[in-house]
Chain A
Amino acid sequence: MNRLKMPGTPWLILLLAALTAMLVPVPRTYAPQDRVFRVDASQFSFNPGVLAVNPGDRVTLELRSTDVVHGLYLDGYGLSVVADPGQTATLTFVADRPGSFRFRCSVPCGDIHPFMLGRLRVGPNWLLIRAMALIAITVVWSLVTGVTTKPRTQVAIV
């Protein structure tokens, strides 16, 4: 217990716990598959709006525009495809980057075009899971150690 009373020890514990949460390796063993999604694009949404695959999957997106020209740009992968009205355009790629990525319309299609978005989830969203662990660590650390910045007071409560 004396060690815990050393100045800076609670901060060191927090730092180590946070680094563990952010850096601990996670299992990534998936059998790659071919996956085909047909995505309808219409002002101002993609349907389906959320796609889920496993890391390593070979993904084919068949983008079909139902009204005006729409595009699909995939964040993180930097890939894009454009579909003319009533036509289908195809984008094929290997989902080799795990995580959660937005895809967005890349061709101005109307007033709320900037908000025409969807999501591609490649395996579990480990960044989100790690961030949740970070939140839990922060709160538990704060409650257990009682570390704060000076001056400490009870002025608000008593």
Chain B
Amino acid sequence: MNIDHDRRFDLTRVRWLAPLLRSRWPVVLGRAVTLAGFVFTILAGLLGTPIGGRNFAIIFVWIAWWTVLKLILMPVAGRSWCSVCPIPATSEWLQQGGILQRGKGVGLKLRWPRRLRGQWLQLGGFAVMGLFSAVLLTRPSATGGILLALLLGATGIGLVFERRAFCRHLCPIGGYIGWYEQLAPVAVRVRDRDVCRGCVEKACYQNCQWGIFPAALKDSFDCGMCMACIQTCPRDNMALWARSPSRESEEAARGEGAARRLDRAWFGLFMLACAPVYAAVMLGPWGSLTEAAYAIGTVAWLRYALAFLTITLGVGPGLFWLAARLGWLLGGRSGSAKRGAIHLSYALSPVGLAAWIAFTMSFAFANLSYVWPVISDPLGMGWNLLGTADWAWHPYLMNVTPLLQVVVLAGSLLWAALEVRRIATSRQALPVLAYASLLTAGMLWLLI
């Protein structure tokens, strides 16, 4: 067994997996496939049928990919999607002057401005996408347009700034995946820190497209799991580890983890507040609310936009901060209230991830059967390539979905409670757990 003294399992030592992790080809081929699919999706969105339920762009981005990302990739494999994400592919190839081999490359390779670092821009990007989500999720041209904008934006940013500046500081999806990465059961980490102390080549840093120093990784927020460090370390000292999903909070509790930051805490609280809003708009029985979210530019939409931003950026995080502050007061005002609140916000991340998973279950299982006709007729041109074009819509797993959602949401609350109690006394924890319970209860009321 490859379990080290720190209860991690070294996946790089698994015989059948090791060649895949040590070769550049899986990532290169994976990215070639996703890039081809991405370009096709953009074309389908812009040139295919305007009927969302019949268009490849809508069905494969918002039902197939978005579902796989939230229900499988993020809980099981963390940021693995980022390793094959097609959006930064062209900028990366231009920067390094080739797909496989490194050449001179093009671009200014400037450092990202210090004042623009952190997750604030990603938060803003996700909020803007949220304002237009009802249109993005249903109108093919809007989906094609936003994907094209992301591709061009990443390429433009990559020609000006060094490495994955777009992914680290601008990509809303990158921020979203990055926040919940702390709960991932896999991570790239160094084997033995002492070995790195004598290293002068720093090949891991030289080859890291994300511009981080893998040997010093304490969290994986900015690690795209491209495995370049594993492949280039001359001392074979980098590895992919299977670990406890609570690993990063355990390390933080020991004082060994990465610094816990306000921008990330706010991002997490924003994501936590977004889930019930989306559930109400997209899964609730309130047609006027859904129509308001869709009718961009109308007075109803402006009211919706104002309410969305107020709830997700103000009310949700604000209530949490009040709860954390109350806990600080009940706990005898010991320590820093701000620092305590930031740590407690990280502890609630299981509730946020579960809220998104539960929301996705309701949305995806009901609409998954749209995939089959679209495979045969991706542009809505009347084709029947695989003979599935006439397969009727039928929702899946509707009988068991509510029970699954109860298990996921209640289980995540228990997980969050264990994390909160790790860092807070019962008096300090009470208001924050009340806030988490309120959110969980709200999600359940909206979903089941």
Pick the contact of A146 from B138, B403, B426, B448 — CB < 8 Å?
Answer: B426
What chain B residues lie within 8 Å of A113 (beta carbons)? Answer: 52-53, 138
- Cβ of A21 to closest chain B Cβ, rounded Å: 10
Interface residues of A in 90-121 (CB under 8 A from B): 99-102, 104, 106, 108, 111-119
A19 vs B291: C-alpha distance in the bound complex, in angstroms? 41
A104 vs B287: C-alpha distance in the bound complex, in angstroms? 11
Residue with the greatest number of chain A CB neighbours at <10 A, chosen from B414, B418, B428 = B414
Interface size class of B (residues with CB under 8 A): 35 or more
Decide yes or no whether A36 CB sits under 8 A from chain B.
Answer: no
Given contacts A150-B250, A153-B253, A157-B335, is CB(A135)–CB(B288) below 8 Å?
no
What chain B residues lie within 8 Å of A119 (beta carbons)? Answer: 285
What chain A residues lie within 8 Å of B342 (beta carbons)? Answer: 156
A46 vs B395: C-alpha distance in the bound complex, in angstroms? 19
Segment from A23-31, A59-67, A81-89, A136-144 that makes contact with B: A136-144
Let me know if A125 and B448 touch, CB within 8 A.
yes
What chain A residues lie within 8 Å of B282 (beta carbons)? Answer: 114-115
A154 vs B426: C-alpha distance in the bound complex, in angstroms? 12
Given contacts A75-B398, A117-B285, A127-B403, is CB(A142)–CB(B418) below 8 Å?
yes
Let me know if B285 and A114 touch, CB within 8 A.
no
Residue pairs across A and B with CB atoms within 8 Å: the count is 179
What chain A residues lie within 8 Å of B283 (beta carbons)? Answer: 102, 115, 117
Closest residue of A by beta carbon distance from B331: A157
Given contacts A45-B291, A114-B138, A115-B282, is CB(A135)–CB(B421) below 8 Å?
no
- Cβ of B408 to closest chain A Cβ, rounded Å: 11
- Cβ of A122 to closest chain B Cβ, rounded Å: 13
Interface residues of B in 350-409 (CB under 8 A from A): 362-363, 366-367, 393, 395, 398-399, 402-403, 406, 409
Pick the contact of A76 from B399, B406, B420, B444 — CB < 8 Å?
Answer: B399
Given contacts A114-B366, A143-B430, A153-B255, 15 further A-B contacts (CB under 8 A): A44-B287, A45-B291, A47-B287, A102-B283, A113-B52, A114-B52, A114-B282, A115-B138, A134-B406, A135-B437, A139-B434, A141-B417, A143-B429, A157-B343, A157-B428
> What residues make up the interface of A, taking CB atoms closer than 8 Å to B?
14, 18, 44-47, 49-50, 73, 75-76, 78, 99-102, 104, 106, 108, 111-119, 125, 127-128, 130-132, 134-136, 138-139, 141-144, 146-158
> What residues make up the interface of B, taking CB atoms closer than 8 Å to A?
51-54, 134-135, 137-139, 246, 250, 252-255, 281-288, 290-291, 294, 328, 331, 334-335, 339-340, 342-344, 362-363, 366-367, 393, 395, 398-399, 402-403, 406, 409-410, 413-414, 417-426, 428-430, 433-434, 437, 440-441, 444-445, 448
Q: List 29 A-B contacts (CB under 8 A).
A: A14-B414, A44-B294, A49-B285, A73-B395, A101-B398, A113-B53, A114-B52, A115-B138, A127-B403, A127-B448, A130-B406, A131-B406, A131-B409, A131-B441, A135-B441, A138-B410, A138-B437, A139-B434, A142-B417, A149-B250, A149-B418, A149-B419, A151-B254, A152-B253, A153-B253, A153-B422, A153-B423, A156-B335, A158-B334
